[in-house]
Chain A
Amino acid sequence: MNSLIQLKNGVASLASDDWTIVQLPATQVEARKQAGKVVLFKLTGEESVTTEQIENTIIPATGKIIVPLSVFIARHRELANRVAENEVGVWLATHELLEHLIQHQTDINELPIIAIFVERFADGRIFSLGTLLRSRYGYKNDLRAFGDVLRDQLFFLKRGGFTSFVIRADRSAADAIASLNDFSQPYQGAVDEPRPVFQRYNRGT
């Protein structure tokens, strides 16, 4: 069953997925929660990726792959040729910092796809990450949401600049497409339409 929805020029359709997501192996180290004091900035308590995990990540030898940010940074030498062939994309978890990607990859438009993994659908950081990638960092290629992606968040994801959506496997992507158009004239400007309604529609005087 097809679970990928692709937006092309504003038109959504089911598509076949020629990208393979490369996963980090599970960690043996017990997660230590940052109790809000450890680091000035990251108060949200997610575990970080270990060196072992990065080294033990299995990268398929051929085909189009989307690799974790940490692997993309640490193992960039072995990926360089495939990056040049447009066969490598990067994925970030919602707690990871876009700055780390930008510092490493000066021109992010060399990447044909960037994906954001959302572990729980209620994690709205994904909307800010998409917005920043598009509006701050000028990313122009495919921006994908995967993980706990459900139809009732699609409208917001679309407005935040996402162009492809891997609907969670137990749900129908065909049904979900309808929710991309839940609202026809949103009030505020966002990535897909930067002008707020008062800038694009004559509401009288």
Chain B
Amino acid sequence: MSSSTWAIETRGITRVFESRKGFLFREATRTEALRGIDLTVERGAIFGLLGPNGAGKTTLTKILSTLLLPTGGTARVLGHDVVREAGYLRPRMGLVLGGERGLYNRVSGRENLRYFADLYGIPLAERDRRISEVLARVDLEGAADRRVEEYSRGMKQKLHIARGILHRPEILFLDEPTIGLDPKSARETRKLVRSLLADGVTIFLTTHYMFEAEELCPELAILSKGRIVARDTVARLRQLVGGDRTLEAEAYGFEDREIDVLRHLPGVSKVLNEEFGPVSRLTIRVRTEETRPDALREILLPGHPEVAVRERRTSLEDVYLDLVEEEAR
């Protein structure tokens, strides 16, 4: 694939934050937020970036959207360098950082949009119509002329999104777009994201909601401590962490001997023992159909008459936790 077909292409992006604390005796601290990010995202696709707090998701989003300079490496968006060609890129990209901040609270939602429409140079003849269109699209028409300070968190988030798409960007960066939203608003936001994708907009989405990533993103990367620890489709990521199926067994404490036996069952790739007070939970990733819940019961029942065994599909959350914990080790 030639480089022009990539919406995003990064090579070895690093970002170091240096800060100083103290008044008389200044103490310097150095934080490596990103440690060599190589990433490509196809045009017209939606790409998800998952990671725990502090993993570097927002830092990467800000670098790609020209709000932060990388310390090292190169990043190209729509085929243009984000540092040298920021002026070219800014009218072509939308950014939704979301949250309570980022809006002019004392004026109406419509006035917020009008201001940014002017800063983006949206033709005057189209401006008001386009504002009404995006307000309708995010379902804020009824509240458009109310002051933003009267908006709920969800309404503010919708206004952020409306501002991000007002100038019809080719690529949209959504940084945790549903964080803090009630389930209904979050669902509407995801619906909107899908409709933008259908319109041909490339979407770069960061989230730490697993179900959201699974629902929206055919392909995603997991970022941990400034590194991409995995990048693939959800199905392949499941295989990466040891299988599509997960068996769980709960009882009052398991012995090492029992765990060792489980590890050697056919198709078992991983056994994780966690303790929740007096209760222990074994999580077992299984690659094949050979090992069924009955096999587990057979092994565990003699020592644990109370054992409860269940089977479920390996979730993206399992994948995420496995990979992030592996990176932490």
Chains A and B are bound partners? no
What residues of chain A have their CB less than 8 Å away from a CB belonging to chain B?
Answer: none
What residues of chain B have their CB less than 8 Å away from a CB belonging to chain A?
Answer: none
